[in-house]
Structure 1
Amino acid sequence: LIGNNVLSITKSVLGQGATMPSVIANEFTEANQPFHLSSLFVVAGCLLVLALVVNTIGKLIVRRTGENIA
């Protein structure tokens, strides 16, 4: 959806890039430096926080609209 796993920063928002899970999956086995491994754990932590925030916002929206799905 986002690109071809290009590991460069583009000037355009619509440019190619890599998703956070793909970066973790592609580079975890090749991470032999402590700093590289630590940075992958930081990316995983950011992904976890982002998922928690999105889920919390979704639950608040559902609660406010009055529809109880779960």
Structure 2
Amino acid sequence: MQNAKLRAVSEILDALDQNYRLLWAARDASGRQVDPPSQIDGGVISERQHALNWITGFEDAPWGDVDVPS
């Protein structure tokens, strides 16, 4: 904890953007009933999106109410 450092806003936004794209790739594959590209795990990506949405204050919602829109 003593060596912990805040991430740059740009780094967090880049992670949010990348994860959002992966989430939609997983959802698209699921909708077409095909395997997602590069073995993307939609459940993991969705949970990561939830965390990133919370970190960035999406809809100013508390952790339990953060949305991951579909």
Normalised TM-score (structure 1): 0.40
Q: Which structure carries more relative contact order (alpha carbon 8 Å, separation 6+)?
A: 2
Normalised TM-score (structure 2): 0.40
Structure number having the greater helix percentage: 2
Structure having the higher Rg: 1
